[in-house]
Chains A and B, each alone.
Chain A
Amino acid sequence: MSVQEQQQASEQDQTQEQAQAQSRTENKPESLVQIRDLYKKFNISGDFLDQLKFQGGKIVREQEFVHAINGVNLDVHKGEALCVVGESGCGKSTVARTVMGLLNPSRGSISYRGERIDNLDDKALMPYRKKMQMIFQNPYASLNPRMTIGQTLMEPVKLHNPTWSALEIRDKVHEVMFSVGIDPSWGERFAHEFSGGQRQRISIARALAVDPEFIVADEPISALDVSIQAQVLNLMMDAQEKRNLTYLFITHDLAVVEHFGTRVAVMYLGSLCELAPTKALFAKPRHPYTQALLSAIPRLEDDRPSHIKLQGEVPTPVNLPSGCVFHGRCPYVNDRCKKEIPQLIATDDGGQVACHAVEEGRL
C-alpha cells in the first residue's frame, strides 16, 4: 500500500474521529491540561564572572536571555490531538518540555485537570508521571544504548506498579510490545539492533506502558523516513482510539497536522498566533503568519506562484520586538501593532487569533 493511499484511508477515519471529537467538545469541552500565561527564558550570559562587564569606568553585571516562550495560554481538551506548529526556534519544543516538567517555567503555570503541577517536587509528581508521558524526536537517542528493550520497557511498569509480580510486569510489557507491532521475543535485544521506525515504536511502547491518558509527542516522526512516518502516525492514531489518549503533538509538518490534528496551535517566536480547529484553520487561516505558513505548503497542482513572501528574517528571541512579535514582517502592520501586544480573541469559526488587524476588521 502506498503512503498516499494509507494516508487517504486513515484520513477518512480521521474525519469521522474529528467529527466525533468536535461533537464531544461542543457538548462539554473538558480541559485536561491548562497552560496559563507561560513564560520561559534561558540565561545565555554564562556564569557570574562572565556577566561582569566594564562599562564607562564602572563594573556592571549584564545578563542576556533567550525568550523562548512569551505568554502562551493553551488548553488541551480531553480526547483531542492538539498540534503545535511553527518554524524552528519558535518555542514549540520548549512548551512540550515545560508541560512535562523537564523545564521549569519562568512565569505562569501548568495544570493538569485543574491541579497545578509545575511547582510540585519529584515525589508529588509521581501520580502525574503515570498519566502524562512523552515521545521524543530522535529514536536513536531516546533509548538507552546499554539496556535491552525488555529492560527499557520493564522499568516504567515496575516503577509505577510496585506491587505487581514479575509475571504481571512481563505480561504488561508483552502487551504493549505487541500493540506497537514489536515481537515480544525481541525483548533481549539492544536498541541498536533495530531500525529507526522500530525504535520509535519501542519509544511509543515505553510511553504506553504506564497506561497514560495524555501524551506529549515532540516531533515524533520528523527523524523518520517518509514511508515509516505514515506507519508510526497510524500507530499513534490507533493507540489514541483504543486507549482514549489525548495528544499534544509538536510538529513542523503541516501535512501531518492536517491528517492528525483535532485543533492546531500556530506559534511564532514564542507566542501563540492562532488556535483553531484543523479544518477551520486550513480552510480559512486568519493570522497573517498562518496565511503565509499555509501558502508555503508545496502542492501537486501548484502551477500558480501564490506563496506569500514574508520580508526579512525571524527576529532574534534575545531582543524581542516590541508589540506584536510579527510586526516586522507583517504586510498589514500599523502603529498599534508596534506598540501593543495583541491578545487572543475568539473568531466566529471556533478558533482564537492574536492579531490587531483581525480585531479591527482590517483583515
Chain B
Amino acid sequence: MTTQNTTSDLPEKAPSAWQRFKDTHVWHSFVKDRVAQLSFTIFMGYVLMALFAPAIAPFDPYDPTQIDIMNSELPPSWNEDEGDPQFWLGTDAQGRDLWSTILYGTRISLTIGICAVLLQATIGIIIGLIAGYRGGRVDSILMRFADVQLSFSTMMVAIVVLAVFQASFGTELYQELAMIMLVLVIGIAEWPQYARTIRASVLAEKKKEYVDAARVMGLGQVRIMFRHILPNTLSPILVISTVQVANAIISEASLSFLGLGMPVSQPSLGSLISSGFEYIFSGAWWITVIPGVVLVVLVLVMNLLGDWLRDVLNPKLYKG
C-alpha cells in the first residue's frame, strides 16, 4: 500500500516554508481573530516607529542645538491659542518636540524591553533546560535558587541595585551606563519565570521516545538539550516572551519614573512621564498624558498578542 503512494506522490514537491506556515493553526486563527490582527498591526506600527525614529522625527531631541528653551511647555498644535504648528504634540519642559521625544523614547523603551527579555531568556532557558534534563539534585538546587530569586520582588532588587550603583559611582557614570544597567537588572531579576516554564516543558518532553532515540544514537547531552528538546519547548517560550517584554517595559518605566531609569537627556517613555509629572498642575498635562497613553497602548497590545498566542499554542484549547 505504501509503495503505491510513493509513486503517485512522487512529482509533488515539498511545500515551501511560507506555504507550510499558511497551513498552520497559528495562521488560521490569526486570520479569524480581529483583536489579534489589530494588536499585531499596532505593535508593528510601534516597531517601525522605533526603528525609523531618526527618519520620522522632525527634530533630534538629543541635539542641544535644536532645542530652544523659549519653546518649552507649548501645548499640542490643535490647541489654537498657544500651540505652534511646528510641534503637533507640543513640547516638554526643556522645549523639546514631544512627538520626536516620544519616537526616540519608544525606541529606548522597546530596546530595553527586548534586550532585557533576551537576557532573561538566555539565562532562564539554559538553567531551565539543565534543571529539567538532569533532574535530581541539580534540579533541586537550581530551582530552590529560582524560588529564592522569585521571593524578591523585581522592583525591590532593581531599586536597591540601581540606587547603590548611583550612590557609589556617581550620577554621571550612571547616566552613561543607564541603559545597560537597566537591561542587566531587569534581565537578571526575572530569569526564574523562564527557567520554571522551560523546566516544566522539558520534564514533559524528556519522557518522549525521540529523546531516548537520540540518547541511544549516542548524541551528547548538550546537543540533545538544545537541538532536540529546546525546539519542542518553543511555544511556551514565545508566549511568555511577549508578556515579559511588556513587563520589562513597565519595569523600566516605573524605575525611570522613580528617577532610577533613563536620564532626562535620553528620555524613555517612563522618564518622559516622570518629567512631565512636575508640570501637570501648571496645566502642561500633555507631557505626562501623551507618553502615558503611548506606553499603555504598547503594553496593552503586547499583552493581547500574548493572550492570543497562548490560546493558539495551548493544545488543551486547540479545537482543530
Once bound together, how far apart are the Cα atoms of A126 and B146, in whole Å? 36
B213 within 8 A of A: yes
Q: Does B167 contact A (CB under 8 A)?
A: no
From A101, A137, A181, B3 is in contact (CB under 8 Å) with: A181
Q: Which of the residues B1, B9, B212 comes within 8 Å of A136, measured between beta carbons?
A: B212
Given A129, A137, A145, A185, which contacts B217 in the complex, CB threshold below 8 Å? Answer: A129
Q: Which of A142, A145, A159 contacts B213 (CB 8 A)?
A: A142
Cβ-defined partner of B210 (8 Å) among A102, A122, A144, A183: A144
Complex CA gap A130/B219 in Å reads 11
Chain B residues within 8 Å of A101, by CB: 215-216
Interface residues of B in 138-169 (CB under 8 A from A): 140
Contacts of B14 in A (CB 8 A): 186, 188-189
Provide the residues of chain A in CB contact with B209, threshold 8 Å: 136-138, 141-142
B2 and A160: CB pair below 8 A? no
Taking a contact as CB atoms under 8 Å apart, the answer to whether A183 and B6 are in contact is yes
Q: What's the minimum C-beta distance from B127 to chain A, rounded to whole angstroms?
A: 19
B216–A102 CB distance below 8 A: yes
A37 at the interface (CB under 8 A from B): no
**What is the number of residues of chain B that contact chain A, defined by CB distance less than 8 Å?**
24
Task: Give the residues from 115 to 143 in chain A that come closer than 8 angstroms, CB to CB, to chain B.
Answer: 122, 125-126, 129-130, 132-134, 136-138, 141-143
Instruction: Tell me whether A146 and B10 are in contact (CB under 8 A).
Output: no
Whether B265 sits at the interface, judged by CB under 8 Å, is no
What number of A residues sit within 8 Å (CB to CB) of B? 41
Q: Judge whether A47 is part of the interface by a CB distance below 8 angstroms.
A: yes
Binary B-proximity of A16-60 (CB < 8 A = 1, otherwise 0): 000000000000000000000000000000010000000000000
Q: Does A198 sit at the interface, judged by CB under 8 A? A: yes
Contacts of B140 in A (CB 8 A): 47
| A263 in the interface (beta carbon within 8 A) | no
Contact yes or no, A145 B232, CB < 8 A? yes
**Chain B residue nearest to A235 in the complex (CB):** B2
Interface SS majority for chain B: helix
Q: B residues 210-253 with Cβ under 8 Å of A?
A: 210, 212-221, 228, 231-232
By CB atoms of chain A within 10 A, which of B3, B217, B219 has the most?
Answer: B217
**Given A138-B209, A231-B2, do A102 and B219 touch, yes or no (CB 8 Å)?**
no
Task: Tell me how far the C-beta of A189 lies from the nearest C-beta in chain B, rounded to whole angstroms.
Answer: 6
A206 at the interface (CB under 8 A from B): yes
CA distance A189 to B6 in the complex (A): 13
A290 → chain B closest CB, angstroms:
30
B22: CB under 8 A from chain A?
no
B168 to chain A, nearest CB (A): 41
A100 at the binding interface (Cβ < 8 Å): yes
Cα–Cα, bound, A130→B209 (Å) = 19
| B interface residues, Cβ below 8 angstroms from A | 1-3, 6, 9-10, 14, 140, 208-210, 212-221, 228, 231-232
List 29 A-B residue pairs with CB atoms under 8 Å apart, sorted by A's residue number: A47-B140, A102-B215, A102-B216, A122-B220, A122-B221, A126-B218, A130-B218, A134-B212, A134-B213, A134-B216, A136-B212, A141-B210, A142-B212, A143-B210, A143-B213, A144-B214, A144-B228, A144-B232, A145-B232, A147-B228, A147-B231, A159-B218, A160-B218, A182-B2, A183-B9, A183-B10, A185-B10, A203-B213, A231-B1
4 nearest interchain CB pairs? Answer: A129-B218, A188-B14, A142-B209, A146-B231
